[in-house]
Amino acid sequence: MLPMEIENRSMEIIEAELQVELDEDIKPIVKRVIHATADFSFAETLRFTPDAVRLMRGMLTRGATIVTDTNMALAGINKTALNRLGARALCFVADGDVALEAKTRGVTRSFVSMERALGIEGPKLLVCGNAPTFLLSLLEIALRQGRPADTAVIGVPVGFVNVVEAKQKLWESGIPCIAAMGHRGGSNVAAAIVNALMYGIEGVRA
């Protein structure tokens, strides 16, 4: 079978085995995450703020900048789809100057990365699949400066320390988001959500 045939058959199997009723706007996102993880529990743990899918797709069609918390999440985002949308994806956390600034100021690299992300002009999609400090930095800055404009978040870090709490705080913040509640998540989940958002835009996946 060709790769696309395998993917299509996988989606058919997921559809057949899915036990949770999902709204049609979020179902393709959830199915793409299940496809990436073989974990049907995401059908119950992925949460979407009202109109999040339409909002994020609108941002992408306006050439949004995606900023990820890790290079692993960045690597999983489909660059061909990005180019077709005129969008771009960046990750600052491994940059040498970010590490130096973080050490000099006594803050985390995630905090400096978030500051840089929020300083970018235009629509921004902040994508977290690994580091809850990336989300907590956003919420700390938002608490001081107010909710960032034209910004949405995919918050799906995986793990045990500060992970559940960071997602809950994001969910309660009022910032438009897609969040995977609980301990599960990961960079592959984050990238799968971004790709699903892009694939649902007409002409992106020709």
Question: What is the CATH number for 174?
Answer: 3.40.50.10230
Cα diameter, the chain: 54
The answer to whether residue 86 sits within a structural domain is yes
Residue 132 covered by a domain: yes
Distance CA 62, CA 188 (A): 24
Residue 20 to residues 24, 45, 52, 119, Cα–Cα distance (Å): 12, 11, 20, 39
The predicted pLDDT at position 206 comes to 63
From the candidates 35, 47, 116, 205, which is the catalytic residue? 35
Rounded CA separation 39/196 (Å): 16
For residue 32, the model assigns a pLDDT of: 98
Does the annotation mark 183 as catalytic? no
Domains contained in the chain, number? 1
Is 205 a member of any domain? no
Are 53 and 27 a contacting pair, CB within 8 Å?
Answer: no
pLDDT averaged over consecutive 10-residue blocks of the chain (206 residues)? 90 96 96 97 98 98 97 98 97 96 96 96 98 96 94 98 97 97 98 98 88
Assigned domain for 204 exists: no
pTM attached to this predicted model: 0.96
Q: Beta-carbon neighbour count of residue 30 at 10 Å?
A: 25
Is residue 81 domain-resident?
Answer: yes
What pLDDT was estimated at residue 1?
A: 80
Its domain, for residue 29, covers: 3-199
Asked, for residue 206, whether it belongs to a domain, the answer is no
